[in-house]
Amino acid sequence: MENTHITYSLAILFLPLLAFLIQIFVGKRLPRQGDWVSISAIVTTLVLASLLFVDMFQQYNPNFKIEASFLWMDLGDFKIYLGFLVDNITIIMLLVVALISTCTHIFSLKYLEGDVRYSRYYAYLGLFTFSMNGIVLANNLVSMYIFWELVGVSSYLLIGHWFEKESAANAAKKAFLTNRVGDIGFFIGIMIIFTAVGSFAFTDIFASVASGTIGGTTLTFAGICLFAGAMGKSSQFPLHIWLPDAMEGPTPVSALMHAATMVAAGVYLTVRIFPLLTSDALLFVAYIGGFTALFAAAIALTQNDIKKVLAYSTVSQLGYMILAVGTGVYTAAFFHLLTHAMFKANLFYGSGSVIHSMHHALHKKHDHETDPQDMRNMGGFKEKMPITFLSMTVSTLAIAGVPFFSGFLSKDAILGGTLSFAQHHPQHFLLPVFGFGAATMTAFYMFRMIFMTFYGKSQKPELYADIHESPKEMTGPLVLLGTLSIFIFYTLPHFNPFSTHGWFTDLVVAKDSFVPGNISAHTIAEHAHHAHIPAMILSLSVAGFGIILAGLMYLKKSISADAWAKKSGPLYKLSLNKFYFDENYERFLYQPLMKLAGKIAYFDWEVYDKYFINGFGRFTSWLSAISGKFDYEGIDQGLVDGVGHATQKMGRSLKQIQTGRLQNYLLFVLAGAILIIIIQAV
């Protein structure tokens, strides 16, 4: 089976790349712009991933692990091995990527029908799937980093798909650059670790951590640096700014990358490196995650753009996962990653469906002013788009943490972990506060979204008539993913909707951290288990509170949202304006940087070069002018030319006697002879 695993993984990795290459080179010339190439490639990937998944079930071995490496570069002592790691986490992740990617491919058939760069779009999807699988399969930091950046590029390309729009182009650039900030941290982390360990492979690194070759502050610092990469990719505070802007990309892309898979890569990385994170680093991780969860949820409360709500919700949920890793329950984080991928992708598809239909309606009216994504232009879509409504509602229930849905299980596990962590470390009481606060807000803003979109009266009645349910290619993924948001798929072979216990917990078992002195996985699990019931009760009540508040405000309208907004005053404004992060970055980072760049360039070119470097030239030419003057007027004109001039003058006067008459010459000869004789005689 080992060979099969490697073959399958290789196929899963490279099939999308093949699709990418075909699409980029000949896609445009193929029938239907070659979308079938990409789709068949991704479906094959899905089949292979499912086969691996099925095999995992057959083996049912929590310690299953296959590694294969090959020597990529060899300088004698400096060697780089690239390779695969296939274990249960990998397989689950591969399946998630393949599944969501397949859904996206199919969903896009209609969503991007007639787009100018249709084949390009599919090509980039292929590139993304390839790189994402690369991250998932990596068994070392170098491959991880390589695919990490490639994911960033495919994200750049897809966000910038509609590059004619200035905002899309800006968003793409922002996404890439913000990610790069995190990646620099990641890279520094890699360097620290390589310097200490001398290898990039996880296995070697963990062994060194366990043996104490690397430890203490260095390890903490290395861990935080690596985590910086995750912060960028998973859009954690303060690098969260790019994700909401990334919604400029086509909605299926948002579903695939900016909700389900790519942004989860950060969580995946943190899960992978969990064994080397020291307790200090973990605390840092936990605080970043917790704060992001609360902070993003607070922004989501007031957003009116349907995709922006979902974007901030994603940031918040990713914060949850990071928080979970930080508090030690990293399997819960991974579990939430899995469930979140399903329901969040579904929510994005749902929003895509709504936007698609709004777009068509607006198009029919030749209205190019109205924003098809603004929830204030929607309302009452329940009757018109029943499938979309239903599947979105299911996912909303899941994300809000309502029992019988997947989100409840994973969220509960996280909150339980957080609570138990605070119980044992009371000084970190803020972490559960972050967690539960975010849970409340999540329930509120998600239902706010549902109510504003699907319930009530239409805000734009003239459009309402033209709103239709989306075609099958779009509703299909909605139904599928909606179904997958039900608890049963995660608790099999058990049927207890209130317990996470199931195949997942059997197959993905937390392992001890390799950092000497960290709490053992067993202890963490024990603690979390104790906190399970109180956490569940607490989370149910906060979720209920949030839902009821949303209902009162946006469904019954018995509480005026506007009045509340007025009452909360500056807080509301802060939330609506995303805490002015973009503006402040703009003011305190970009602009000073650009100014500095401009100044340096000016200095370099206009001052340093012109005055200093050219100054040498000027000095030299001044010097040479002086010496030239002396040389010309003194030596040359005076001395050298003087001789010449004298000779010339003499010649000119002597020329007179050069008459050309022979007889004159003879006369001179004679005169000369006489002269000589006379002189001789005297």
Partner 1 sequence: MSEFAFWMVAALTIISAGLVVFSGQLIYSAVALLFTLLGVAGLYVFLWADFMAGVQVMVYIGGILVLIVFGIMLTHKIVSVKISQTNVQRRIGGFAAGLFLVILISAMGSASWFMEVTPEPVETVRTIGILLMTKYLLPFEAASLLLLGALIGAAMLSRKEN
Partner 2 sequence: MDQLTNYLFISAILFSLGLFGVMTRRNGIAVLMGVELILNAANINFVAFSRFGGMDLSGHIFSLFVIVLAAAEAAVALAIIITIYNSMQTVNIDDASSMKQ
Partner 3 sequence: MESNLLSLLVWLPVIGLAAIALMPRDKTKEIKLIAALATGVQLVMALVLWAKFDPAIAGMQFVERAEWIPSFNIAYILSVDGLSLPMVILTALLCFIGIFVSWKIDYAVKGYFALFLLLDTGIMGVFVSGDLFLFYIFWEVMLLPMYFLIGIWGGPQREYAAIKFFLYTLFGSVLMLIGILGLYFTCGQTFDIQALIQNAPEMLQGVSWWGMSAIKVIWVLLFIGFAIKVPVFPFHTWLPLAHVEAPTAISVLLAGILLKLGVYGILRFNYGLMPDGVWWFAGALAFLGLINVIWGGLCALAQTDLKKLVAYSSINHMGYSLIGMSAVIAAGSANGANTTAAQAGLAGAVFQMFNHGTISAMLFILVGVIYDRAHHREINGFGGLAKQMPIYTGITALAFFAGLGLPGFSGFISEAMCFIGAFPVFKGIVIASTVGILLNAAYFLWAFQRIFFGELNEKYTDLPEINKMELFTVIPLAVITIILGVYPAPFINLVKSTLNLMIDMVASGSPIAGM
Greatest Cα pair distance in the chain = 153
Burial of 173 (C-beta count, 10 Å sphere; 0-12/13-18/19+): middle
Q: Which is nearer to partner 3, 564 or 605 (CB)?
A: 605
**What H or E segment, with its residue span, contains residue 622?**
helix 614-629
Q: Hey, what are 111's tokens?
A: 């969503």
Helix-strand-coil percent breakdown of the chain, rounded to 5?
80, 5, 20
The contact mask relative to partner 3 for 616-645 (x = CB under 8 A, - = no) is -x----------------------------
User: Interface with partner 2 includes 661 (CB under 8 A)?
Assistant: yes
CB of 661 to partner 2, least distance (A): 5
The count of other CB atoms within 10 Å of the CB of residue 678 is: 9
**8 A C-beta contact, residue 121 and residue 115:** yes
From start to end of 124-260, where are the E strands?
Answer: none
Q: Which is nearer to partner 2, 3 or 663 (CB)?
A: 663
The answer, yes or no, to whether the previous bond of 386 is cis (omega within 30 of 0) is no
Interacting span for partner 3 (CB under 8 A) from 344-352, 553-561, 590-598, 670-678: 590-598
Q: How far apart are CA 122 and CA 112, in angstroms?
A: 10
Interacting span for partner 3 (CB under 8 A) from 156-164, 386-394, 484-492, 548-556: 156-164
User: Interface with partner 3 includes 568 (CB under 8 A)?
Assistant: no
Q: Hey, what are 131's tokens?
A: 């790189």
Among 666, 675, 676, 677, binds partner 2 (CB under 8 A): 666
Q: Which does 156 bind (CB under 5 to 8 A by kind): partner 1, partner 2, partner 3, none?
A: partner 3
User: Interface with partner 3 includes 24 (CB under 8 A)?
Assistant: yes
Q: Which does 671 bind (CB under 5 to 8 A by kind): partner 2, partner 3, partner 1, none?
A: partner 1
CB of 657 to partner 1, least distance (A): 13
| Identity of the amino acid at 545 | F
Q: How many residues does the chain have?
A: 682
- Residues in region 102-141 near partner 3 by CB under 8 A: 116
CB of 506 to partner 3, least distance (A): 36
Burial of 570 (C-beta count, 10 Å sphere; 0-12/13-18/19+): exposed
Among 11, 21, 153, 576, binds partner 3 (CB under 8 A): 153
The count of other CB atoms within 10 Å of the CB of residue 517 is: 8
Would you say the C-alpha torsion 186, 189, 194, 195 has a positive or negative sign? positive
User: Interface with partner 1 includes 663 (CB under 8 A)?
Assistant: yes
The contact mask relative to partner 2 for 617-656 (x = CB under 8 A, - = no) is --------------------------------------x-
- Residues in region 299-358 near partner 3 by CB under 8 A: none
For 633, phi and psi rounded to 5 degrees?
-80, -30
**8 A C-beta contact, residue 396 and residue 478:** no
Strand, helix or coil for residue 69: strand
Interacting span for partner 1 (CB under 8 A) from 253-261, 492-500, 632-640, 667-675: 667-675
Q: How far apart are CA 394 and CA 439, in angstroms?
A: 17
Which positions lie near partner 1, rule CB under 8 A?
Answer: 661, 663-664, 667, 670-671, 673-674, 677-678
Site residues (vs partner 2, CB under 8 A): 655, 658-663, 666-667, 670
Q: Which residues bind partner 3 (CB under 8 A)?
A: 24, 72-78, 116, 142, 145-150, 153, 156, 160, 163-164, 166, 168-170, 172-173, 176-177, 180-181, 183-184, 187-188, 190-192, 194-195, 198, 593-594, 596-598, 600-602, 604-605, 608-609, 613, 617
